[in-house]
Structure 1
Amino acid sequence: MIESTVTETASGASLAERAAADGTSFVLATFVDLDGKPCAKLVPAAALDRAQTDGVGFAGFAAGGTGQVPSDPDLIARPDPDSYVALPFVRPGLAMVQCDPHVEGEPWPYAPRIILRRMCERLATEGRSLRVGAECEYFLVERRDDGTIVPADAADRSARPCYDARDLTRMYEHLTDVSTALNTLGWDNYANDHEDGNGQFEQNFAHADALTTADRVIAFRYLVRMIAERRGMVATFMPKPFSGLTGSGMHLHVSLWAGERALFPDPDDPRGLGLSELAYGFVGGVLGHAPALLALLTPTVNSFKRTGAATPSSGATWTPTRATYGGNDRTHLVRVPDGDRVEIRVVDGAANPYLAIAGLIAAGLDGVDAKLDPGPVGGPGRPGGIGTTPVPGAAGGELPPTLLHAVEAFVADPVITGALAAAGAGGDVPAYYAARRRAEFLDWHSQVGGWEIDRYLTAF
């Protein structure tokens, strides 16, 4: 079991003060590119005042999907002290802080954290805020010398491993190390379970405001991977690492608030889900914009092998394939477990949390402003994760079958592209994002794999 000496610091403390209080020696000054890659520099504690004042410089093009070319000026990452987390569970004296990238003194519009911050500011001008909880699923695997992967626990091979106490216990050290870390950070880890796939787990932490939750997802992924590596395992948030097993989601629970007043509940809801008309408008917006949203919520080629998967041996994919909503029914894209919140179940482990939440804000607000009606509450979904209620705007209720289809829906949807343009002038962020997703699809599409050799080599 890991131990920590992390201490709480008062809100508003400088980065250097927070580091000093925890005995931190080095801080990972981190930002995330449009593809979800965490990029960082290791900053000594003695240089933190300078980092907070001047920022931390990066060659943006070298980092990845930042909207830059080699000739562009440096991307300056400005640390947000409120995102600081001490990570002695990874290395003694290590911490992480999320940064807001700037170029020549201006917030960089291609930065996902800037995009989400702007969408949250839009909500704030209307006297509202979004609270978000994230369910992060992942697999623990071993990568063999030939490049193939298998579950890290060789004994975890039953057809229905979900919640199996024995499979859970064999990963006790890893899971409890992560849990201890989350609770030491004050994130309130309240459950840890074995999920539906062999080697698949989920560890839950409490909801928070939208930006804080997105920051925590990034730190959580890093933390889980590093703790797994200590035991020779690979922790992967890849949506569908195994053809025959359930994929990994990142279900997002969202609710709108006005100060401390929840805007979603209505105990007198005639439809029986306990939701207000405002909440139904939000749901209608998410469902109506679902095809375009998938470019943000399921943003990889591999994502669509999860959403379009055949039913595995465990009996269900747990992944929605239609734009539907319903009550406490996990087959729907939007599930309403209670009137306080709605759960967006199509989001997967590859989603960039900043972009996913920004897109949901845009879609939901459009539904609220236009008073979109999501239609009648859907009945029980059929086995395999297929709902029943089609929604206007999502043709027949069907979701895009591939990343390329989702990108085309995204490009055609001004509300969702508007979310990526929320950070202001300085380039066409939606077009840049769409081009990267198209390039990923076409790169995959140009490869010849084993399935094709097996199917076509002697077929003609």
Structure 2
Amino acid sequence: MFGYGHPLVPRLPEPPESAEDFLHAVVRDDIEFVLAMFVNIDGKPCCKLVPAAAVPELLEEGLGFAGHAAGAIGQSPADPDLVAVPDVSTYTVLPWRTGLAAVMCDPHVGGAPWPYAPRVILRRGLAALADRGMQFKVGAEPEYFLVRRTPGGGIAVADDEDTAELPCYDARGLGRSLDHVAAVSRALTALGWGNYSNDHEDANGQFEHDFAYADALVTADRVILFRYLVQMLAREAGLLATFMPKPFGHLTGSGLHLHMSLWDRASGSELFRGSNDARGLGMSDLGYSFIGGVLAHAPGVVGFGCPTVNSYKRLAARDATASGSSWAPTWATYGGNNRTQMLRVPAPGRVEARCVDSAANPYLAMTALLAAGLDGIDHGMDPGAPNEANLERDGGRGGAPVHSALPATLADAAAAVSADPVLREAFGKVSGGEFVDYYAQLKQSEFDAYHRRVGDWEIERYLTAF
């Protein structure tokens, strides 16, 4: 096992398996409202608040949305309704609000799953994996900052005393924010997610909460609800929780590290674990081939794992953080228990992707990682020897095995996504052509909007320079 789990998890009722079970749960739990929720391509949580009396209609007919109004999800103002169809197994009582529950939904249009919808895309990929007799399990480590607005319209770390150069794991920093951190931990425990660790991270004002690994779709759903939970609890305290990857130029950015493994569906055995590993990491040949595939497709994978202009200020921050480390990769490499690598093997049987940041849409990031890894398995890719260098200290390659440089900007990443045939096939066709082209165009447009804007740095550097 991964060792992620926590034995002191409350005994919760089994998740609903049918509409009848769902209706029974709403009555049993004295639910007044249900949030019918989905996310768009940018990871924005979208929902409608459904009164308990209207839940039977929700389960029977779904709930209509003007898809174009929800943001990037492949719809124009002229398109028919996007209908959110609830996945009853995701029914979740939200412990920070009495009488409130949530259910994750799969968007449909015209009675069919909408191919632009991130949850639909991951579900399709996992169904194809099930046909191979395998299951993808993922553990997530979400990081975020607690900040407050300043009178001038900017932001500052919420805790004025959180100024240490090396604040990571600092008991005093954690203690000053204990009310918020404990509230999040209690909520995660009440949800039954197996919260086992909560800490102050490497940057001032930065925190992480860890919970047990699960099936990839379950973990992706939980990441979305986790962000919502953290932001709502922060707001109740008069603060703002941000999952922006790099809100402060001089501080370490926020990641969403994903711990991945494949399992045999019939036997329940771990397919990445190997007992006779000459490289000493406890991985199987299949596990190494999965690693090889992710490395081979790293630029395109990063395009989904680091989806904003701001993301690439985290990836390129090797020498620009107050703590002296960025904890973010620059090269497509793998190693053992070495956090300077893009892929880390911290223990036998699993591999951690450190190239995904806090802004990532978890459904899309997991789809890209899975597709790349399976391509490595299908072609027996060998990632070579583990990279043992300190890639931050050595300023890059360190003379060790490197597959490629990671994209330096969102524009580079968008081009890599569009150019990758394996990702193109995995994300599939949509009404306007192919999903990767739609996604790449969105990201290129985002970069173009940023690039057209003249910033303070340019004024300071160039105004009287010539």
TM, length-normalised to structure 1: 0.95
Decide whether the 8 Å contact of 2:11 with 2:192 is kept in 1.
Answer: no
Cα shift at 1:50: 0.8
Alpha-carbon offset, residue 155 of structure 1: 0.6
Q: What amino acid is aligned across from residue 13 of structure 2 in structure 1? A: E
- The aligned residue for residue 386 of structure 2 is 377
Task: Select the residue among 300, 312, 333 that pairs with 1:292.
Answer: 300
Structure 1 residues 377 and 9: CA distance shift in structure 2, 3 A: closer
**Percent identical across equivalent pairs?**
55
Deviation at 1:193, TM superposition (A): 0.3
Q: Secondary structure at the match of 2:360?
A: coil
Mapped to 2, the partners of 1:264 and 1:373 lie a distance apart of 14
Q: Which runs of 5+ in 1 are unaligned?
A: none
State the one-letter code of the partner of 1:273. L
Alpha-carbon distance between aligned partners in 2 of 1:203 and 1:340, rounded to the nearest angstrom: 22
Listed as ranges, the matches of 1:83-162 within 5 Å are 83-89=90-96, 91-162=97-168
Equivalent in the alignment of 1:357: 366
2:89 corresponds, among 63, 66, 82, to 82
Shift of 1:222: 0.1
CA RMSD for the aligned pairs?
1.5
CA distance in structure 2 between the partners assigned to 1:315 and 1:10 by the alignment:
45
Do the aligned residues in 1 keep the contact of 2:15 with 2:90 (CA within 8 Å)?
no
Instruction: Tell me which amino acid in the other structure corresponds to 2:428.
Output: A
Question: Counterpart of 1:251 in 2: which secondary structure?
Answer: strand
Q: How far apart are 1:387 and its partner, in Å?
A: 5.6
User: What one-letter code is carried by the residue in structure 2 that aligns with 1:291?
Assistant: P
Q: From 315, 334, 339, give the equivalent of 1:330.
A: 339
Aligned partner of residue 337 in structure 1, secondary structure: coil
- SS in structure 2 at match of 1:78: strand
Distance 1:17 1:244 in 2: 51
Question: How far apart are residue 430 of structure 1 and its match?
Answer: 1.5
Match among 165, 170, 179 for residue 164 of structure 1: 170
Q: Find the counterpart in structure 2 of residue 248 from structure 1.
A: 254
Name the counterpart of 1:440: 446
Instruction: Give 2:254's aligned amino acid.
Output: S
SS of the equivalent of 2:346 reads: strand
Which of residues 414, 418, 424 in structure 2 aligns to 1:407?
414
Match of 1:36 in 2: 43
Contact 1:249/1:348 (CA < 8 Å) preserved in 2? yes
Q: Counterpart in 2 of 1:345?
A: 354
Residues in 1 aligned to 2:406 and 2:391: alpha-carbon distance in whole angstroms: 16
Aligned partners of 1:189 and 1:22: how far apart in 2? Answer: 22
1:13 to partner: Cα distance: 4.6
- Is 1:70–2:69 an aligned residue pair? no
Contact 1:101 1:111 in 2 (8 A): yes
Distance 1:188 1:444 in 2: 40
> Structure 1 CA distance, aligned partners of 2:52 and 2:396?
52
**Structure 2 partner of 1:201:** 207
Aligned-pair distance for 1:11?
A: 4.0
Match of 1:271 among 265, 268, 279: 279
Specify the code of the residue in structure 2 equivalent to 1:174: H
For the pair 1:12 / 2:20, whether they are aligned, the reply is: no
Amino acid at match of 1:231: A
Q: Deviations over 1:273-293 (max 9, x none)?
A: 111010000000000100111
- Greater Cα offset, 180-189 or 5-14: 5-14
SS at match of 2:345: strand
User: Counterpart of 2:237?
Assistant: 231
Q: Secondary structure at the match of 2:195?
A: coil
Residue 426 of structure 1: CA displacement?
Answer: 6.6
Q: How far apart are residue 19 of structure 1 and its match?
A: 1.9
Unmatched 5+ stretches in structure 2: 1-9
After superposing the two structures, state which structure 1 stretch, 183-192 or 138-147, moved more.
138-147
8 Å Cα contact 1:320/1:387 also seen in 2: no
With structure 2 as the length reference, what TM-score do the two structures score?
Answer: 0.94
Residue 391 of structure 1: CA displacement? Answer: 4.4
CA contact (8 A) 2:134 2:262 kept: yes
- Residues of 2 paired with 1:9 and 1:94: CA distance? 18
Cα contact 1:332–1:386 (8 A) shared by 2: no
For the residue of structure 1 that corresponds to 2:326, the secondary structure is: coil
Q: Deviations over 1:148-201 (max 9, x none)?
A: 111100010111000000000111111111111111111000000000000000
Counterpart residue type for residue 195 of structure 1: E
Cα deviation per residue 1:197-235 (whole Å; 9 max; x = unaligned)? 000000000000000000000000000000000111100
The aligned residue for residue 58 of structure 2 is 51
Q: In structure 1, how many angstroms separate the alpha carbons of the residues matched to 2:252 and 2:426? A: 31
Instruction: Give 3-state SS (helix, strand or coil) of 1:338's partner.
Output: coil
